[in-house]
Amino acid sequence: MDWTKLDAALFDLDGVLVKTTELHASCWGRMFDAFLSRDAARRRVAYQTFDVRSDYTRYVDGKPRDDGVRDFLASRGITLPDGEPGDPPERESVHGLGNRKAALFLEAIETGGVEVYEGALALIRHLRRVGLKTAVVSSSRNCETILRVVGMLDQFDVRIDGERAVRLGLAGKPAPDTFLEAARRLDVEPGRAAVIEDAIAGIEAGRAGHFGLVIGVDHRARRVISTPAGPISS
């Protein structure tokens, strides 16, 4: 690819830099299945499990944690109170369920570690050598922890993650706000920056922000699709 017309590259974390997508999906599934089983028993309805492929991709992947909880529950016709950000994992609120998933994910990292996509790391190092600025833009509130575990904190000029997005009041993906904030902090125009994403919500965010290039990565299919920014065709 010709990177000479760009000044920066903005990378998603999960599924682009590190192999955590399946781990995230598994933890979401464990959390939701436990809740759905209890909810079905209370309401005396059939219990339908969380599909770690279709439900994760459609309702959760790439979004802020609380939005993922709300959107999936809404797909099942379930509404819970938001609660408070500090709700304990056993509380049946949006924040409580989100915190339960986060606890499961951190336990999994501590047990099994995190694997890096070596091709992505090689690309980042190449782009920095040729003068492009780099940022990581992730909905994950564990972004800093993961980057520290894999030794990649020093590979980015800017980090906009789930924690910072909340503090700054930025809308999560598929809104372009987090990517635009990263570009602003890098002092580059969106049209001179590339967005590298694996989630549908992230790709929509990159295109909504009118970035110069939006790259959709699908590691499972072993292919990469790159397109100019613009409206997504239906």
Please tell me whether the peptide bond between 85 and the residue prior to it is cis, using omega within 30 degrees of 0. Answer: no
Query: CB-hemisphere CA count at 13 Å for 25?
Result: 19
Helix ranges restricted to H, the chain:
21-43, 54-55, 65-75, 94-112, 118-129, 143-150, 162-168, 177-186, 200-208
Going by their DSSP bridges, the two strands 213-218 and 223-227 should be labelled as antiparallel
Query: CB-hemisphere CA count at 13 Å for 220?
Result: 7
Question: Two tokens at 111?
Answer: 């047990």
Q: Write down the catalytic residue from 2, 7, 14, 157.
A: 14
Residue 14 appears among annotated catalytic residues: yes
Q: Write down the catalytic residue from 12, 66, 177, 198.
A: 12
Residues with Cβ within 8 Å of 120's Cβ and at least 6 positions away in sequence, in order, are 11, 16, 17, 196
Positions annotated as catalytic residues are 12, 14
